[in-house]
Structure 1
Amino acid sequence: MNSRRSRTEPPAPGPGEPPGPDGGVPGTAVPGAASDAAGTRGGRRPEAELVREGPPPGVGHLLRYETRVLGQPLAVLVHPERGTATTVVELTPESGELLADVPRQGPRDAAGPAAAATLRLLLDRLSGAGSPFTRLQILISSRPPGRTSRVHLVAALPLTRAVVAAGRAAGERGTRDRSGDGLALIAGRATLDLGRQLADCGLSIRGFLDNAALTGLIRSRYDPGHGQWADAGVPPWPTEVDATHHRRLRTTSAAGAGGRAVSWYHATAWVKAWPSTADGLDLSAPLRLPRLPLPRTSALVLALAPDEVPTAAGYLSVSARTPVELQQFRVDLRRLLPAESPLQLEWTDREHHLAFAHTLPLATGLATAPPTVQDGHF
């Protein structure tokens, strides 16, 4: 599979922005991607970039496992080349409002966690508690017309030698994949600890995502019109990805019950400048972006380190049925967020196929240091 390189330089990372999927920023070329010259055939460029099998560009190879937390199945995705294991939990809509620091009617309870910014409180606790997770990703997705909103928290566990060794020790002899299953068990325990930290901050978990639910969540990102967000009977990836247009990305889903494939058009922007508060950067600002009448997902990627201020990257992906609808959203958002606004967005033109992967619930933007293990070790 060939990926098309950009004709422009990728944007420089914002202050403290985590690296992109290849250790750079959104817009970094996919490893092994062919150059523009190599992508032409007989002097003509292919009209579309097709992905018949496997994940779309920028996602990389994945290994799927499953463990149990509080009696519930929990999916664990291992990204060998990223050096991370990823789990996902869904939070209640009320928890999403707390994380976004949405003002509520009436006075706040000074004794409750809402008296301080909940997101900042959570980050302080995780950074100071020695959490094994080093990156978090908060996804807030909404779908009109009913403006259904879902909030997910993605956590990335680095595959250090110590974590891999603990996974091998925890795996049961005689299982299909002792090392991988043991690693899933370690990730499950860490996710349970994360749940306790969330509860201490007044945040409620709606559920742990198993493989079927995670598949449905991925599907809902590139096919927002999909009826169910958790359906084990659908494939996790689009059947076609067209990344040739510089202002948008087109994805085509597998044919549904009606036997007709559906295409959506997407565009992704990244936070170029952040507003400030008395306590530093307003990290929750991307989660409070205006809700226009199109499906969209706000993604906040956060790096955690003991006794350090989190670094951050923010993204906004919007989906539309037609290119005209998508362009109108960009115009309307520019009107609502003038150039002098403290929160500045920049569209990732010519790089939407890579930036879109950052807002998938796969933590691809959560890459840690170069991995210390290979696929064959699981």
Structure 2
Amino acid sequence: MITRRARSTRRAGVADRSDSVREGPPPGVGRLRWLRTEVLGQPLAVLAHPERGILTTALELDTGEDGPPADARAADTRAGDVRPVDDARLRDLLARVGGAATPFVRLQLLVTDRPPGRVRRLRLVAAMPLDRRIRAEALTVGVGSEGPPGERTGHGLALLAGRATLDLARHLAEAGIPIRAFLDAEALAAVIRSRYDPGPGPAAGGVGGPVGGPWPTDIDATDHRHLRTVTPAASGAARSVGWYHATAWLKAWPRVGAGAIDLAAPLGPLPGLLLPRTAALVLAVGPGEEPAAAAYLTVSARTPAELQLARVQLRRPRDAEPGLHLEWTDREHHLAFVHTLPLATGLAPVHPAEPAAAGMS
């Protein structure tokens, strides 16, 4: 049973208090429906987010740190055409997918660094709208499946999301950007879990990471300077593992070229900071348009003192960069932290919640 403490802030004379929440995902995540499909013979997890009006899938891109991509040939890419995604190619990736004509309306790039060894993971989360039109199409697509209408719709939604993900994968392959893995439910849950417990990282794609559900056993958001999460030890022992997290958002963006925002700026490495951290960039995309964007950066530590030192160390190099300014989300870390999960959150919902969405559970 999950027990979490969600803070109620001191505002308008109302004192802080701690409430126990025993079921469901952490604050800010919302209800999720886990679906599955297959792409190129590989299982793929599809998450339905009714309140946010989106369906999401996730890919892991190759950073060149653990050998060749899992199945580059499956995306019609010859072995000699692929190169790891470095910072320059990251900018090219953002330029290409930001204006591509795809069913996706939101993309999230998630960059995770885990010292020592500077293990770097790069995930791409893609979100398509979950609206009446998509649900109607999904019901038609899922006609051949068994079960009541809700199950057929879920099956159809997974198929539609899988087809769109395959199109995106081929678009990336044409740009010479290799895909390491399509994330299935186990891998995606492991990636989420590793954000709450950013100890030794999971294997490529999340396989071999923490087992069980993705959520921590306890969340303490009573301190305005950080969020504390507790998860069981990976070995299954009785002891728990606790981490402190602080999340900043990008308040001011640097500019490049003819005044366009530098989308890759918040995703760069942080030299000298020997703590786990994750940078997330969320884009609202459309063909022929410059994205509107939001960026978040979470750093994690074992103690509050270590985290406070990291906050100071992080601000110095980042604020020294022209046009880039970070601001800590004090008193809101429990909500902002969610924006550095592979869920494509951080921007306003794609469309207002529809009554029909409430039927998904």
Q: Indicate the residue corresponding to 2:175 in structure 1.
A: 201
Q: Indicate the residue corresponding to 1:278 in structure 2.
A: 257
Unaligned runs of 5+ in 1: 9-34, 102-113
Equivalent position to 1:183, from 144, 147, 157:
157
SS in 2 for 1:178: helix
Q: CA deviation at 1:219?
A: 0.5
Query: Which deviations, in whole Å up to 9, do the C-alpha atoms of 1:278-319 show, x marking residues without a partner?
Result: 141111000114241000001000001232211111110010
Q: Distance in 2 between matches of 1:225 and 1:51?
A: 25
Equivalent position to 1:120, from 84, 95, 98:
95
Counterpart amino acid of residue 119 in structure 1:
L
Contact persistence 2:282–2:295 (CA under 8 A): yes
Q: Distance in 2 between matches of 1:57 and 1:364?
A: 13
Higher-RCO chain (CA-CA 8 Å, sequence separation at least 6): 1
Unaligned runs of 5+ in 2: 65-81
Q: Distance in 2 between matches of 1:182 and 1:99?
A: 36
SS in 2 for 1:66: strand
CA distance 1:331–1:71, change in 2 (3 Å): same
Calculate the aligned-residue CA RMSD, in Å: 2.5
Q: Distance in 1 between matches of 2:5 and 2:115?
A: 34
Q: Indicate the residue corresponding to 1:374 in structure 2.
A: 357
Query: Which deviations, in whole Å up to 9, do the C-alpha atoms of 1:4-61 show, x marking residues without a partner?
Result: 34457xxxxxxxxxxxxxxxxxxxxxxxxxx984xx6xxxx54x55444321100000
Contact persistence 2:6–2:20 (CA under 8 A): no
SS in 2 for 1:337: helix
TM-score relative to the length of structure 2: 0.84
Q: Distance in 2 between matches of 1:311 and 1:115?
A: 17
Q: Distance in 2 between matches of 1:199 and 1:340?
A: 33
Counterpart amino acid of residue 60 in structure 1:
G
Q: CA deviation at 1:225?
A: 1.1
Aligned length: 329
Asked whether 1:290 is paired with 2:270, we answer: yes
Equivalent position to 1:223, from 197, 214, 223:
197
> Aligned ranges for residues 157-172 of structure 1 at < 5 Å?
157-171=128-142, 172=144
CA distance 1:256–1:49, change in 2 (3 Å): farther
Comparing 192-201 with 339-348, greater Cα deviation is found at 339-348
Contact persistence 1:50–1:242 (CA under 8 A): no
CA distance 1:317–1:96, change in 2 (3 Å): farther
Q: Distance in 1 between matches of 2:309 and 2:19?
A: 25
Query: Which deviations, in whole Å up to 9, do the C-alpha atoms of 1:132-176 show, x marking residues without a partner?
Result: 100000000011111111110011110122211111011124246
Kindly, what percent of the aligned residue pairs are identical? 54
More strand by share: 2
Contact persistence 2:31–2:49 (CA under 8 A): yes
